[in-house]
Amino acid sequence: MFELLGIPPQVLMGQLLLGLINGSFYAVLSLGLAVIFGLLNIINFSHGAQYMLGAFVAWMLLEYLGINYWWALILVPVIVGATGVVLEKLALRRLYHLDHLYGLLLTFGVALIIQGLFRNYYGISGLPYSIPSQLSGGQNLGFMFLPNYRGWVVVASVVVCFGTWFVIEKTRLGAYLRAATENPTLVGAFGINVPLMIMLTYGFGVALAGFAGVLAAPIYSVNPNMGADLIIVVFAVVVIGGMGSIMGAIVTGFGLGVIEGLTKVFYPAGSAVVIFVIMAIVLMIKPEGLFGRNN
């Protein structure tokens, strides 16, 4: 059996698959950021807090109302997305004509407030959320034991990512959206309610974060800081993919998950920085990102 740098192929295969699974989270989260930035020009720093909100709302639905994981998967994005709509309507809307920096500061402040509130009420240690019984257990693939839930995460993420890409890039609704960001006045003149469309788009981006939160709840610690830990990496993914590029966010999300996974085998201590090293290299060679359009 051949070995690559002393790593048996079974281990390598396992790590590639694990990388793909982590990449699923990066992809869904960075997709939400890319949609919001690409169509609204808002750098949504509260994305991590909204992801955390998704996991907490799933926990609350189960704890207080007895609503299970599958319903949460549908309800949580709607609820979290609705909070995004409210935020857009009350605050973000007033910042569109200003510099990016103002949107960034506002969303960052909102993130701190949300995290602070949850820390105050639920503490920092986290809350238990079980894997749904239909997805417990796993498959022995020969080279590794794949928990059914992880397999589900990959499938769900791929479906959601490409569904989103399809709607924005290939449908009439997506065309309106893209046109509205290019020239809102003109699109409005055709009788399309641009402010409503922008508001719903932000809500949709936030719903994606909530969706990722539900996916994460059974396998990661559900605590108020879970988003803050992840958001910086996700921003790096978006920058590497090209700010605002939908396909860029998806492909780099999965790709960087795999690269990070491999780093964990060859040099575990470096796995925290590898994404940022790649970001630095990409920014030096192609400042607009791998899939970014140079405008």
Partner 1 sequence: MKKTVLGALTVASFGLPAMAQDSMDVTLGVLNDRSGVYADLSGEGSVVAARMAVADFGAADKSMNVEVISADHQNKPDIASNIARQWYDQDGVDAILDVPTSSTALAVADITAQANKILIDSGAGSTQLTGEQCQPTTIHWTYDTAALAKGTGGAVTERGDTKWFFLTADYAFGHSLEEETMKIVEESGGEVVGSLRHPFPATDFSSFLLQAQASGADVIGLANAGGDTVNAIKQAAEFGITQSGQSLAALLMFITDVHALGAETAQGLVLTEAFYWDHDDETREWSARFEEEFGSKPTMVHAGVYSGTMHYLAAVEATGSTDGDVVAEWMKANEFDDPLFGEGYVRKDGRVIHDMHLYEVKTPDESTGEWDLYKHVSTIPGEEAFLPMEGSGCAFANEG
> What is the residue whose two structure tokens read 């909204």?
50
Q: Does 68 bind partner 1 (CB under 8 A)?
A: no
Smallest gap from Cβ 78 to partner 1, in A, equals 26
Q: Which is nearer to partner 1, 109 or 163 (CB)?
A: 109
Of residues 3 through 62, those in contact with partner 1 by CB under 8 A are 11, 14-15, 18-19, 21-22
Decide: is 226 part of the binding site for partner 1 (CB under 8 A): yes
| CA 193 – CA 188 distance, rounded (Å) | 6
Within 10 Å of residue 196's Cβ, how many Cβ atoms? 11
Q: Is 178 in the site for partner 1 (CB under 8 A)?
A: no
Contact with partner 1 (CB under 8 A): which of 38, 77, 81, 147?
147
Q: Are 290 and 241 in contact (CB under 8 A)?
A: yes
Residue count at the site for partner 1 (CB under 8 A)? 40
The least CB distance from residue 27 to partner 1, in Å, is 14
Q: Say whether residue 265 binds partner 1 (CB under 8 A).
A: yes
CA dihedral 219, 36, 195, 79 (to 10 degrees): 0
**DSSP state at residue 130:** P
According to the binding rule CB under 8 A, does residue 144 interact with partner 1?
yes
Distance CA 55, CA 213 (A): 4
In whole angstroms, the minimum distance from the beta carbon of 131 to partner 1 comes to 7
Nearest to residue 36, comparing CAs of 99, 96, 98, 121? 96
**Residue 32 and residue 215 in contact, taking contact as beta carbons nearer than 8 Å:** no
The single residue among 30, 107, 157, 223 that binds partner 1, judged by CB under 8 A, is 223
Segment (H or E) for 140:
strand 138-140
Q: Which of 71, 75, 126, 162 binds partner 1 (CB under 8 A)?
A: 126
Q: How far is the CB of 10 from partner 1 (least distance, A)?
A: 8
Helices assigned H by DSSP within 217-271: 226-241, 246-266
Counting contacts by CB under 8 A, is residue 261 touching partner 1?
Answer: yes
Calpha distance 105→294 (Å, rounded): 26
CA 14 to each of CA 7, 17, 193, 266, 274: distance values in angstroms, whole numbers, following the listed order = 11, 5, 49, 13, 19
Closer residue to partner 1 (CB): 91 or 127? 127
Interacting stretch for partner 1, rule CB under 8 A, among 36-44, 82-90, 219-227, 243-251?
219-227
Of residues 230 through 259, those in contact with partner 1 by CB under 8 A are 230
Q: Is 90 in the site for partner 1 (CB under 8 A)?
A: no
Question: Which residues of the chain form contacts with partner 1 (CB under 8 A)?
Answer: 11, 14-15, 18-19, 21-22, 116, 119, 123-128, 130-131, 138, 144-145, 147, 149-150, 218-221, 223, 225-226, 229-230, 261, 264-265, 268-269, 271-273
